[in-house]
Amino acid sequence: MAAIPLPNLPVHDLQGRDFLDFADFSAAELQQLLDLSIELKQKHKAGVPYRPLAGKTLGMIFEKASTRTRVSFEVAMNQLGGQAMFLSGRDTQIGRGEPLPDTARVLSRYLDGVMIRTFGHESVIEFAHYATVPVINGLTDLHHPCQVLADVLTLWEKKGKVQGLTVTYIGDGNNMANSWLIAAPKFGINLRIATPQGYECDPQVVEQAQKLAAEHGTELLLTHDPVAAVTDTDMIYTDVWASMGQEEEQKLREQHFAAYQVNQELVAHAKPDYLFMHCLPAHRGEEVTAEVIDGPNSVIFDEAENRLHVQKAIIVATMA
């Protein structure tokens, strides 16, 4: 079967761009990425080969371990005709203190793009500043845009639209919540976030989100009341209470987050056809009960699969 040409979408405007944060993209550009994700997934399911990255290599720097990020990016590059190279801090000079600007400039001479999964968001910004190839944020402590784009694709698949829907995030005001804050208004999604006191989202991200919500005419609710947040919502989202690097806070967080568990009592306030999502890995019995995450409203594995397809779109849009 012959390879298909680039889908007829104006993603050429994104060539050479970094993908670090939703704030760097307009609503129209994010919609282009979503449309490309849909088209590439449809072609993949139909068995139509599309290999625009033949001869190209994506370097993948991991300072935080991952299952979904590593496998989905490697498979994405393989399906697109290129290859991916795993680079951990233990295997490179980064782990021995080489300055990020030097690493970025050297790797740009070898690679066609770099994906980074790390702790500080400022490290990704610094790396991208000095790199001369596209840089993709695979996760930082502040943002996780690849995951949220996969979530939006899943919402669109299950509901037939995203504009005008209400998404509720319950739990820690972490990178997932921060990325939802910026993405939701740009996709026309109403967003509610319920966090315990002291675990709210980043104030600067909240300020950005409030301005975007006013600009795009969407609703934004930040509350400490999980029941108010989930009432009549279309989707409920949660994440682990203690993210990687916060393990020493686990016991304390279990006390503070106990009232924010997504369980049958809480989801009863949502719409009957609500969707449940989780970025995984999940701790059943902590942030969500098994009855909810394994129940009929849960779409966590479709959501996880969609990481592959949105990342293919990001790679194609920036590197092809």
Residue of 17, 121, 143, 144 marked catalytic: 144
Element (DSSP H or E) covering residue 185 = helix 175-186
Q: Does the active-site annotation cover 70?
A: no
In the sheet with 220-223, reading across from the earlier edge strand, the strands are 220-223, 190-194, 166-170, 235-238, 275-278
Residue of 112, 202, 279, 311 marked catalytic: 279
144 is annotated as contributing to ligand binding: yes
Residue of 31, 239, 253, 278 marked catalytic: 239
Q: Does the active-site annotation cover 109?
A: no
Residue of 18, 31, 79, 117 marked catalytic: 117
296 is annotated as contributing to ligand binding: no
Q: Count Cβ atoms within 10 A of the Cβ of residue 70 and give its class: 0-12 exposed, 13-18 middle, 19 or more buried.
A: middle
307 is annotated as contributing to ligand binding: yes
Q: Does the active-site annotation cover 192?
A: no
Burial 230-257 (b: 16+ CB within 10 A, else e): beebbbbbbbbbbbeeeeeeeeebeebb
Cis peptide bond prior to 281, omega within 30° of 0: yes
175 is annotated as contributing to ligand binding: yes
88 is annotated as contributing to ligand binding: no
Tokens standing for 202?
A: 């980043």
**Neighbouring C-beta atoms of residue 15, cutoff 10 Å:** 12
201 is annotated as contributing to ligand binding: no
Report the relative pairing of strands 190-194 and 57-62 from DSSP bridges: unpaired
Residue of 32, 79, 147, 261 marked catalytic: 147
147 is annotated as contributing to ligand binding: yes
Residue of 143, 192, 253, 307 marked catalytic: 307
279 is annotated as contributing to ligand binding: yes
Q: Does the active-site annotation cover 239?
A: yes
239 is annotated as contributing to ligand binding: yes
70 is annotated as contributing to ligand binding: no
26 is annotated as contributing to ligand binding: no
Block residue for tokens 């944020």: 137
Strand partners, 61: 87, 116
- Could you list the active site residues? 117, 144, 147, 239, 279, 307
Binding residues for L-ornithine: 175, 239, 243-244
Binding residues for carbamoyl phosphate: 66-69, 93, 117, 144-147, 279-280, 307
Binding residues: 66-69, 93, 117, 144-147, 175, 239, 243-244, 279-280, 307
